[in-house]
Every structure is written in structure tokens, then in C-alpha cells.
Structure 1
Amino acid sequence: MGKNGSGARTRTEPCAVCGKLFAPGRLYHASAIRPGISELIASDVKDWNADSRICGPDLSLYRRRYVADLLEQERGELSDLDRQVLESFEMGVSSVHASAASTLRKDLETETFGQRAADKVAAFGGSWSFIIAFCLVLVGWMTINVTGLLAGGFDPYPFILLNLVLSCIAALQAPVIMMSQKRQEEKDRLRAENDYMINLRAELEIRQLHDMIDHQMAHQWERLAELQQIQIELLEGRQRVKHS
């Protein structure tokens, strides 16, 4: 009873990389690992062979190293964004998107009052409402001063005061619009980085699927070739029996 109860020892096997003991279900067999990763492990572990097993954390580490080597071969030196994607390689695409979106949301939440005001002024200055209102003010200003509705007009032709007001508005509007454009460029940069991280993560996922499919097909072809060889041997054996 004691041996079959809760006190019974669970069978464990060592990891070929770290040497720690794990339950068999938590270890990955060498035949289930892609050849490129298996070769990378063999370069570090002398006793690595077709019957070896590796734990999940060590396999994840070698997966990241394998992907990093591929990216370095294709792109050269890795950027900070590439390293962020590699660090989150075990996360899903949605997790990478959520992380980048969270960065963008935090940046937007830290906007100052001046930045928000610049965005609103630039948005209003580039709208039809501003154009129509500005035209109405100009027409009204010139009409009042030409017709002399207000005691002969406060800004007679050639509207020197109006020119001064327009110059002041243009002088203030230009830097405000530049501030807003700079903020928009920063937002666009963050969105572009977000898209790049998602696309790179999706590319790595697709490569991983291709490697897994290629590995499975190669393994199936080996089994089919073995079955065919057995069938040929059986047929040859039957032919020998008939001739004998």
C-alpha cells in the first residue's frame, strides 16, 4: 500500500544540459527538436545524441539563441527592437502587440498641457471650421472699416492693424503646428516600431512552423522508407520460400 500510495517515488530523468531531474513528461526528446537547434545544443553539450532529453527552460534558451543567430546572419547586428522581440519569443503575438500598445498608451498619457494644447490648435487650424471662421472675420473686419460703421472705422484702408494681427497669428501658429507635427512624428514612430515588432514576431513564428513541418516530413519519409524496405524484405522472403 505504501509503495502504491502518495509516498511512492515518481520516476525522474535528468536534463542533458543542466543535469536537473524532471518528470519524463516535462522533458523533450532530441528527435522532436529541429535539426538546427539540435546542432546548436550538440556544440555545447558533448554527450548530446539522438536519445538525449532536454528540459523546457533550456530548450527555450537554445531556441532564442538559434533565432538570434538567424537574424544576425540576415540582418547583421541586432537592433534594440530585435532584442525585445527575442526576449518575448516565448510570448504570443498578441502579447507583443499588447506590450507595444502599452508603451504607446503610456507615452500618450504623459503628455503635458502645452502638448495637448498644441495638438488641439493644430487640429483646429487645419479644419474647414477655422478657414470659414477666419474668412468671416476678415470680411467683417474689412466691411466695418470700409463702410465706416464704427465711427469711421478703427482700421482704415490699407488695414495696417489687420496686417499686424495676421502677422502675429502666423508667427504664433507656425511653431504651434511644428510642435504638433513633432508629437505626431513621435506617435508614428512608436506605431511603426509596434508594427515592426509584430511583423518580426509573426515572421519568426512562420519560420518555426516551416521548420517543424520540414522536420515532421523528413521523419515521416524516413519511416516510409523503412516500411518499404521491410515490405521488400518480406516479398523477397516469400519469393525464396516459393522457389525452395
Structure 2
Amino acid sequence: MAAEREGNRERHPVGATAAGRPRGGRLDQPRALRRRLLPEWDPDAFGRLSERIARFLGTGRFIVWMTVVIIVWVVWNIAAPRQLRFDEYPFIFLTLALSLQASYAAPLILLAQNRQDDRDRVNLEQDRKQNERSIADTEYLTREIAALRMGLGEVATRDWIRSELQDVIKELEERQNGHRTHAVFPADHPRGRDMDDR
């Protein structure tokens, strides 16, 4: 039985699949670089370039320059001598140039809008988190203020202490007035004086 297991191990080494070939590369080693047919580019740099172009395409300066180029193109190809004209009527080369410009401008504008949408989404998420923190802080402060009010409800205020002191002063004055009355008219309460002295 043990010999049979050893034979199986030799036929199927560790890391091999049922088909007999080893599983994918080792996970503890980096993969070998593959050659790509397409050129590599930095998407962030390309996105920044597309945003610059889209911003320029959306300005009045671009429209003015484009209008000037088209007018010069048309006037040159109508008024220049025949051997110097490079795009005679119906201006096929101009149409091709404008079509190419439009076909590149649309995706560049869309790419710039997508990047702006991503930035807006990130800003919106940050604003939402900031609002959540502000709400949590406000709730915490509200609870703290309520606890302070409850605690202050049990603390003696200046007005309460003043009223209590006034009551004590009145009571003392009444007692003093009562003692004076006893001293002036001792015959009224003959035994009261002896009881008080005890």
C-alpha cells in the first residue's frame, strides 16, 4: 500500500493537476512580463491632455481661429492661381479635415467629461462623509448640552442661594424680635424664660 502511494506521488507531483500539467505559476514569484502589441500609455497623462484639448475646444478663441482658418482656406482655393490651389471646390480636403477634427473632438470631450464625473463623484462622497461627521458632532454636542442642563438643574444658582439667605435672615430677625419681646415683658411668660435658658 505504501509503495503504491509512492508510485502515485511520482506520477502526479505536488502542484500538478489531473491533466498532468502544473497549475499556474508560483504565487511567491512575479510573473514574467508579456510583450504587448499595442503601445503603452499613462491613462492619467492622456486624460489630462484630453481635458486640456476639451477645454480649448470649448473656448471662443478656438472658434475664432477655426473660422479664420476656414475662411483663409476657402479664399485661397478660390482666388489663388490654379497651380497654387491645393483643395479646389467642393473642398473635399477641408471636409475631410473637419470630419477628422470632429471625430477626435467628440471622444476627447467625452473622456474629459468622464474624468470630471469621477472627480465630482469623489467630491460628493467626501461631502457626504463630512456631512455625516458634522451630524454626528452636532448630535454629540446636543447630548452634552442636555446633560449639562440636567446637571445644572440640581446645582444651586445665585438667585436660589440669595432667596434662601433672605429667608434665613428673616427667620433670624424674627427670633431676635421674639427675644426682645420676652426681655421687655418677662411677666407674660414666667416659665418660658427658664425653659429657654435650659
What is the TM-score of this pair, normalised by structure 1?
Answer: 0.47
Asked whether 1:160 is paired with 2:53, we answer no
Counterpart of 1:208, as a letter, is: Y
Instruction: Provide Cα deviations, 1:91-141, integer angstroms capped at 9, x if missing partner.
Output: xxxxxxxxxxxxxxxxxxx85222122111111111222112111110111
Structure 2 residue aligned with 1:195: 127
The alpha-carbon deviation at position 147 of structure 1 amounts to: 0.6
Correspondence 1:54-133 to 2 at 5 A: 112-133=44-65
Distance across 2 between alignment mates of 1:212 and 1:177 = 52
Partner of residue 141 from structure 2, selected from 197, 206, 209: 209
Asked whether 1:135 is paired with 2:135, we answer no
SS in 2 for 1:211: helix
Query: Is the 8 Å Cα contact of residues 155 and 161 (structure 1) preserved in structure 2?
Result: yes
Structure 2 residue aligned with 1:171: 103
Structure 2 spans left out of the alignment, 5+ residues: 1-41, 179-195
Q: How many residues align?
A: 134
Larger relative contact order (Cα-Cα within 8 Å, sequence gap ≥ 6): 1
Distance across 2 between alignment mates of 1:111 and 1:128 = 28
Identity %: 27
Distance across 1 between alignment mates of 2:44 and 2:55 = 17
Q: 1:126 to 1:186 in 2, by over 3 A?
A: same
Counterpart of 1:124, as a letter, is: F
Query: Is the 8 Å Cα contact of residues 144 and 150 (structure 1) preserved in structure 2?
Result: no
Counterpart of 2:133, as a letter, is: R
SS in 1 for 2:83: coil
Q: 1:149 to 1:192 in 2, by over 3 A?
A: farther
Q: 1:149 to 1:222 in 2, by over 3 A?
A: farther
The alpha-carbon deviation at position 198 of structure 1 amounts to: 1.8
Asked whether 1:220 is paired with 2:146, we answer no
Instruction: Provide Cα deviations, 1:166-195, integer angstroms capped at 9, x if missing partner.
Output: 111111110111011000110111112122
Structure 1 spans left out of the alignment, 5+ residues: 1-109
Counterpart of 2:56, as a letter, is: F
SS in 2 for 1:112: helix
Distance across 2 between alignment mates of 1:141 and 1:199 = 56
More strand by share: 1
Distance across 2 between alignment mates of 1:150 and 1:189 = 57
Q: 1:149 to 1:207 in 2, by over 3 A?
A: farther
What is the TM-score of this pair, normalised by structure 2?
Answer: 0.56
The alpha-carbon deviation at position 216 of structure 1 amounts to: 0.4
Q: List structure 1 runs of 4+ shifted beyond 6 angstroms.
A: none
Distance across 2 between alignment mates of 1:212 and 1:161 = 76
